[in-house]
Amino acid sequence: MADVLENKRAATRFRILVEIADRQPAVSQGEIAESVGVTSQAVSEYIRELVDDSLVEKEGRSRYRVTKEGVDWLLQAATDVQRFAEHVTEDILGSVQEDAAIATADIDEGETVTLSMRDGLFHATPGGEGPATGIATTSAAEDEDVGVTGFEGIIDLDPGTVTVLQVPPVRSGGSRAVDGTALVEGCAAADTVAAAGVEAVAALRRADVSPDTTFAAGEVAADAASRGLDAVVVATADNVGRVTDALRDADVAYEVSDAT
């Protein structure tokens, strides 16, 4: 189990350090106490320990900053919590939760079904002969949504690819500097096309390509890739960093190329 979840003191220490990072440099111990649910005296003691452990440095009266060591500790603790949460949701609750799938044929409630991923959506097929199976919790006709629980096995799924096509900002030519033919070819085989930035949207319009979304492009592309779909993100140079950050956060591989 993650260290910060092993006992109340470790969890409180983690939460107080998070609050300091969020409020620095002017830190109100009373506000932290109210947020965390402990006394102001307890917050003062925790902060003193954090300073002694070089995770926080005091700059003056009620002024504190999280040190580099403190940031590293927070990142490691947050990663541990995230891994534990994933273990709970995927490994423990995965077998008891209910999800929805598209029925590929008529399915009766209680019937064993084989699960697969098609076009980014779960599909359920009568019979339990595949590598991933479940139990239908509802009846459904072909092409209707059906509830599924009791998941077993692993769905055979190859992750999709993500390509980021960079468009120059308007000060450097914007959409007018984009090779329309190359843009069309780059998006032709994609299952999902996302745009990030006004210049990117304009470039796609000039190429007569309609993006599936113009918001949260990195997150959409990451989700698509996780479902086996190939995605292209056309992004203004100023937005490429935010797109790739989202892809890295989701642990999705990608490549960046110039659209000019």
Domain boundary assignment for the chain? 3-92, 99-153, 162-258
pLDDT per residue over 11-70, tens digit each?
898 999 999 999 899 889 999 999 898 999 999 999 999 999 999 999 888 889 999 999
Give domain 3-92's CATH number out of 1.10.1270.20, 3.40.1160.10, 1.10.10.10, 1.10.8.350: 1.10.10.10
Residues 179-225 have pLDDT tens digits of: 999 899 999 999 999 999 999 999 999 999 999 999 999 999 999 99
Query: How do residues 129-182 score in pLDDT, each as one tens digit?
Result: 878 899 999 999 999 999 998 888 888 777 899 999 999 999 999 999 999 998
pLDDT of residue 90: 63
What average pLDDT does the segment 106-122 reach?
92
Higher pLDDT, 138 or 1: 138
Per-residue confidence at 1, pLDDT binned at 50, 70, 90?
very low
**How many residues would you count in the chain?**
260
Question: Does the global pTM surpass 0.85?
Answer: no
Note the pLDDT of residue 98: 81
For 102-107, the CB contacts below 8 A with 24+ separation are 102/143, 102/144, 102/145, 102/146, 103/140, 103/141, 103/142, 103/143, 103/144, 103/145, 103/146, 104/142, 105/142, 106/140, 106/141, 106/142, 107/136, 107/139, 107/140, 107/146
Q: Is CATH 3.40.1010.10 the classification given to domain 162-258? A: yes
